[in-house]
Structure formats: structure tokens, C-alpha cells
């Protein structure tokens, strides 16, 4: 299985929305199904399509906030490709891209136990609980990792 990452451009808004729709309505993931919102996401973040043998199977993103801090944004694998180690590869891709950045952080739903365990295995800690973080009446956990 070959996993590759392809940077998304503004021409890819429809593809991005299509992948986001695969998890729309789930409390565990805050999907972006509005093309204008997706366009803004691609403009303001480093968004990548995750490809398995040339098929787009998900997305991953990050945003460098400062020379010392980066936010790990969405990581979404299409349902039919979950459980194959693809999310782990995406986390490693982002960690590699952000080498040298002292503080990395992300938010996830507290019931997303599989992803929480995965991030904890990479040295992240649970830093805070945030009620209604995305305005969807759902809580989120803030996880962070700091390097010296």
C-alpha cells in the first residue's frame, strides 16, 4: 500500500467538500460542507489530500501559527478506508512537516477515543476541555505536544 500526500489548491474545493461530506452529521468530526468555508480552509491552512494507490482516501491539514506553534487541523479518512493505518501515516506526515516547531496542538471530540489514544501515543497530552468549541453544542478536548 502506497500512501502519498498531495497539496490541495483552490481548484480542489469541490473534492475537499466531497470528502468532508463522508463524515457530515457525526459528532466526532466537525465537517465543512459549505464550499465557501472549504475555500477559506484551503486558503488559510496547509491542506493535503491523502492518497492510497492514487485514490483520494482522506484529508489532513495544519496551520503554522508562529515560528514556535502550529495547529493540527482536520484529519479525515473516508469510512471505507479506516482501520488501515492511514491516519497514523497522516499524523507522521504532519509531524515530519512541523519538525522544529516547539508546540503542536489540536482539538478533537472527547468520544473520539481511537484518535485520542493515537495522539497520546505520539506524546500529546490532554490539556483542556472546551464546551461548544465549534458552536455545535459539542465539547472538544485540546491536546498538545511540546518539544524542547
pLDDT one-digit tens code per residue, 84-126:
999 999 999 999 999 999 999 999 999 999 999 999 999 999 9
pLDDT tops 80 at residue 83: yes
Q: Using CA atoms, how far apart are residues 14 and 98, in angstroms rounded to an integer? A: 27
- Structural domain boundaries of the chain? 3-146
Confidence at residue 25, expressed as pLDDT on a 0 to 100 scale: 66
Cβ contact 23:57 at 8 Å:
no
Chain-centre distance for alpha carbon 97: 14
Q: Using CA atoms, how far apart are residues 41 and 35, in angstroms rounded to an integer? A: 10
Confidence at residue 106, expressed as pLDDT on a 0 to 100 scale: 97
Q: Which CATH number, 3.40.50.720, 3.40.50.920, 3.40.50.300, 3.40.630.30, labels domain 3-146? A: 3.40.630.30
Q: Using CA atoms, how far apart are residues 83 and 61, in angstroms rounded to an integer? A: 20
- Which SS3 state, helix, strand or coil, does residue 2 take? coil
Q: Using CA atoms, how far apart are residues 73 and 102, in angstroms rounded to an integer? A: 17
Amino acid at each position: 500500500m502506497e500512501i502519498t500526500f498531495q497539496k490541495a489548491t483552490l481548484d480542489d474545493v469541490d473534492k475537499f467538500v466531497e470528502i468532508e461530506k463522508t463524515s457530515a452529521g457525526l459528532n466526532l468530526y466537525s465537517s465543512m460542507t459549505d464550499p465557501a468555508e472549504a475555500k477559506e480552509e484551503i486558503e488559510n491552512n496547509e491542506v493535503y489530500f491523502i492518497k492510497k494507490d492514487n485514490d483520494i482516501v482522506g484529508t489532513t491539514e495544519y496551520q503554522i501559527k508562529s515560528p514556535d506553534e502550529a495547529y493540527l487541523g482536520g484529519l479525515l479518512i473516508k469510512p471505507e478506508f479506516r482501520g488501515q493505518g492511514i491516519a497514523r501515516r497522516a499524523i507522521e506526515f504532519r509531524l515530519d512537516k512541523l519538525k522544529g516547531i516547539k508546540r503542536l496542538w489540536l482539538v478533537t471530540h472527547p468520544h473520539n477515543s481511537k484518535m485520542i489514544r493515537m495522539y497520546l501515543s505520539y506524546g500529546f497530552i490532554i490539556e483542556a476541555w472546551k464546551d461548544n468549541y465549534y458552536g455545535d453544542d459539542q465539547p472538544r478536548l485540546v491536546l498538545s505536544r511540546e518539544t524542547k
